[in-house]
């Protein structure tokens, strides 16, 4: 069961913000030897967090002359990236592109002793977005209520896909199961490409995709959008 204290973070689930290991003080800020910034991104190349941070890197280079290096450290509910960034000097030159899984990690892996609220210092919020409940067009449901009725009428026949364990789509899907009482199978994917192939091909029937990915697929009829999850439930 997903701990309840992390569920309220999921209504705006593609949240990215820059944080540093510790706030740089005047002494170590003045002693920076170069104009190089490293941004550790806890996701793979081509993912929404990666794309967003590469846009920012380009802007920083063109506008302010910084040399920005993007370092992708995906995996293990962002704990690989967290471990990497915490080993670096707290000199302000290493930024971490924190997103929702980092917030969820301490609740899901309590033995690791992660403390994002004290291990990092916030710099700026750079992006936010919503997830969208989408279904493969082969699914006859045209609304959330119809989908719930369909899932209840055929327990364990349907699958919902997501990224790795503990990512927003997975947690929202588990909350959906708890709230509605439906019995469906969760199918996690380590990479977005195979996840999309199986969702579009009908191997998996529904997903809670980020809006960045969902919008074009819905507009072209490859998927059908039913609702947007929010604090008060699923908004149609």
CATH number (3.40.190.150, 3.40.190.10, 3.40.640.10, 3.40.630.10) of 4-127 reads 3.40.190.150
Tokens of 160: 């919902």
Number of other residues whose CB lies within 10 A of the CB of residue 157: 12
pLDDT tens string 132-179: 999 999 999 999 999 999 999 999 999 999 988 888 899 999 999 999
What ranges do the domains of the chain cover?
4-127, 131-235
Q: At residue 90, does pLDDT exceed 90?
A: no
pLDDT tens string 25-63: 444 444 444 689 899 999 888 877 888 899 999 998 998
CA-CA distance, 220 to 233, in Å (whole number)?
26
- Neighbour-count burial for 3-18, b at 16+ CB within 10 Å, e otherwise: eeebbebbbebbbbbb
**Region 131-235: CATH code:** 3.40.190.10
DSSP string covering 180-228: H----EEEE-SSHHHHHHHHHHTSS-EEEEEHHHHHHHHHTTSSEEEEE
């Amino acid at each position: 069961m997903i701990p309840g204290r992390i569920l309220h973070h999921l209504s705006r689930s593609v949240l990215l913000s820059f944080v540093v290991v510790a706030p740089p003080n005047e002494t170590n800020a003045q002693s920076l030897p170069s104009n190089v910034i490293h941004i550790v991104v806890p996701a793979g190349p081509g993912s929404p967090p990666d794309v967003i941070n590469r846009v920012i890197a380009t802007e920083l280079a063109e506008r302010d002359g910084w040399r920005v290096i993007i370092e992708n450290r995906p995996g293990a509910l962002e704990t690989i990236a967290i471990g990497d960034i915490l080993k670096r000097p707290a000199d302000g030159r290493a930024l971490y592109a924190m997103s929702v899984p980092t917030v969820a990690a301490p609740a899901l892996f309590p033995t690791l002793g992660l403390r994002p609220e004290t291990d990092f210092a916030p710099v700026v919020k750079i992006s936010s977005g919503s997830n969208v409940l989408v279904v493969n067009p082969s699914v006859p449901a045209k609304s959330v209520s119809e989908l719930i009725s369909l899932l209840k009428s055929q327990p364990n026949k349907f699958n919902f896909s997501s990224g790795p364990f503990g990512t927003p789509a997975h947690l929202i899907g588990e909350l959906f199961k708890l709230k509605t009482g439906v019995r469906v199978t969760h199918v996690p994917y380590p990479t977005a490409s195979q996840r999309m192939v199986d969702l579009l091909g009908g191997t998996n029937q529904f997903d809670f995709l980020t809006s960045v990915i969902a919008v074009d697929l819905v507009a072209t009829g490859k998927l059908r959008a039913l609702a947007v999850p929010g604090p008060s439930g699923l908004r149609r």
